[in-house]
Amino acid sequence: MENFPLWTAIVTPMNTDGSVDYDSFEQLLKKQEKAGNGVLVLGSTGEGLNLNEEEKREVVEFTKNLKLDVPFMIGVGGFNLPAQVDFIHFCNEIKPDALLLVTPLYAKPGAEGQFEWFSELMAETDIPCMLYNVPSRTGVKMHPSVPARLSKEFDHLMGMKEASGSVEEFKAFRREAPDVKFYSGDDGMTPAFSKEGGVGLVSVASNVWPKATHRYVELCLKGETEGLFPLWKNATDALFKAPNPVPAKVLLGKKNWITNDTVRLPLSLGDISEDVENNLLQADKEIAEWLDGQK
């Protein structure tokens, strides 16, 4: 499981009233299983912070009960330590394959605060944990010393999802913690991060292109990136022309993989213009043609 190269940060489909659409969710999860991709529920792509505690637990239990033939990870995101610990205790009962622990939001802790935060959380579980650096969302960069220090304290640190968008920052983490497994947290950065020692991807794109993204990651890890550009850059750019996961849900709706493309506020379908929609449909067509040529 530690060497699983592709995890899909799965969207949470919703009915028009905002409730979770479990029929669509099951279909999405089974598409990931068929493609051989691990699944991450309750990440930012899954609108994890927009669900209440009861809903989050229902999503986790539903995923567990499907008994997928691929590993599943649970996102643990927020800023209130007692609430995080309580949710981790729930996860301990569920026994997922991994947890994703994100740098706390809004508070902008320094290196010591970050280290102590992750230490407190990891001390509450023996489930393999992946750290998550995403400064565009949390408002603070993870300090490069943090994963290195944690790796010396906790045997169940399985790796880190690095979404700084910077090759130089990725290399800085690798220098500080050469024994930690680093995953790209940006679909478009996967070729560059793989070249610098990355071992895989936690993906948004694999929601809409599960088999194609699996192949894309395989090629990146082999260093066989000729022919991937500009196709994959244009495709992944199209998925982030509006706040994630709005474009992914719109395209999933167009593909009839989910019944509705509903998102919860503060996300809004009003942020999708006709041009963005056309870019998504064109990217979908081009990725399908590319995958067909890979067979």
The pair of structure tokens assigned to 132 is: 């998550």
**132 is annotated as an active-site residue:** yes
Question: Minimal CA–CA distance to 239: which of 276, 194, 291?
Answer: 276
Distances (CA, A) of 108 to 117, 138, 183: 12, 8, 23
**161 is annotated as an active-site residue:** yes
Q: Is 68 exposed, middle or buried (0-12, 13-18, 19+ CB in 10 A)?
A: middle
Catalytic residue among 31, 56, 161, 181: 161
Catalytic residue among 34, 56, 64, 132: 132
Distance CA 261, CA 195 (A): 35
Question: Minimal CA–CA distance to 161: which of 134, 126, 123, 128?
Answer: 134
Distance CA 286, CA 275 (A): 16
Q: For residue 96, is the peptide bond before it cis, meaning its omega torsion is within 30 degrees of 0?
A: no
Write phi, then psi, for 74 (nearest 5 degrees).
-115, 130
Point out the residues that are catalytic: 132, 161
